[in-house]
Structure 1
Amino acid sequence: MSTHGLERVVIREARPEDDAAIGELLVEAFITQYAKKLPEVRYTEERKRELRDVEAKRAVAKVWVAELEGRVVGTVALWPPGAPGSEAWVPGAADLRHLATSVDFHGKGLSTPLLDAAERLAREWHVPAICLHVRKGAEGVGRLYQRRGFVREPAGDLELPSVSLEAYVLRFPA
């Protein structure tokens, strides 16, 4: 399987029949990654329900899947400017959330085509930037985004009751 089978991966918009697979992928990927990197992190049942509610996410955001041989192996979502649930702090910016890949694809480059799709749409929307948040302490995730040109921007940090999030932004030329 050259390049880990990535040449056979199809990136497409999520459909209603993908919702359950996307939700389980998000829960599995987030729990597995944080168990390794940040063992103190615990996911509440409420957070798992939120991750699994892909139908509500598709109602306000663009959701993509990476599909390999009929199996959902990755996902990412992009909220348009001003959409309900957006955490973008830059006026007019899109909000990137819920990037995840199947555990057997971690570190294999599958995030690249997913992020390419999200960035392409953000440019089509003519937004000034894409904002996103990374759980404090998840340095590897932050580096993934920095390699793509995202810059750490503490002004957008979020302190929520259950989590501290560090802000990153990718600004587009005017």
Structure 2
Amino acid sequence: MDSRNVADRALVREARPEDDAVVGELLVEAFITQYAKKLPEVVYTEQRKAELRDVAARRKVATVLVAEVDGEVVGTVALLPPGAEGSEAWLPNSADLRGLATSVRHHGSGLGKPLLDAAEALARKWNMDAVCLHVRKGAEGVARMYMKRGYVREPVGDMSLPSVFLEAYVLRLKG
């Protein structure tokens, strides 16, 4: 598939049950490949891979979006509403953005833009005050991408988990 103008050709839609396996493998492949390049010390456990592959469970608590190009799912992102099980949003009336990933062969093609545009539009439709997200400490390129879109670092939302430190970012949609 030609990567030129792939973002312009992307159709973003809500994921369907028949997308679950493809989306799960896309998440595992994208995360493992990117972290192997940028943060080689990061190791994905079989448990974490199983969580990434469990798209059906994610669809029960979140709106999972996919980007499709020429009929092929090549990207994904999930948006959890306030109060959803597993939401890590630290602000009231805020959506939690998770699992932005694109097919490895499309990394750097701008495919994240239509996915984020759609997720942020959905948060506005839900009348959210903000979109919250977390980035693994050390993933500077990912953090820069979000900051270019207007997200700002908000340390109050940071999460120190046993296996990872996550830095918090927020995009305020109101006021």
Shorter-chain TM-score range: over 0.9
Q: Which amino acid aligns with 2:171?
A: L
CA–CA distance in structure 1, aligned partners of residues 103 and 95 of structure 2: 25
* 1:2 Cα deviation from its structure 2 partner: 7.6
Task: Give runs of aligned pairs for residues 90-169 of structure 1, distance below 5 A.
Answer: 90-169=91-170
Percent identity of paired positions between Structure 1 and Structure 2:
71
Code of the residue aligned with 1:151 in structure 2: it is V
Distance 2:34 2:158 in 1: 21
Count of residues paired in the alignment: 174
Q: Which moved more, 1:67-76 or 1:147-156?
A: 67-76
> Aligned partners of 2:6 and 2:138: how far apart in 1?
31
What is the deviation of 1:68? Answer: 1.4
What aligned pairs does 1:42-61 form with structure 2 within 5 A after superposition?
A: 42-61=43-62
> Is residue 22 from structure 1 mapped to residue 34 from structure 2 by the alignment?
no
Deviation track 1:112-164 (CA, whole Å, cap 9, x = no partner) reads 00000000010011111000000000000000000000000000000011111
Gaps spanning 5+ residues in structure 2: where?
none
Q: Which 5+ residue runs of structure 1 have no aligned equivalent?
A: none
Per-residue deviation at 1:8? 2.4
Tell me which stretches of 4 or more aligned residues in structure 1 moved more than 2 Å: 1-8
1:116, 1:7 → 2: CA distance?
A: 12
Cα root mean square deviation, aligned: 1.1
Name the CA distance, whole Å, in 2 between partners of 1:159 and 1:23.
Answer: 25
**Residue 7 of structure 1: how far off its partner (Å):** 2.9
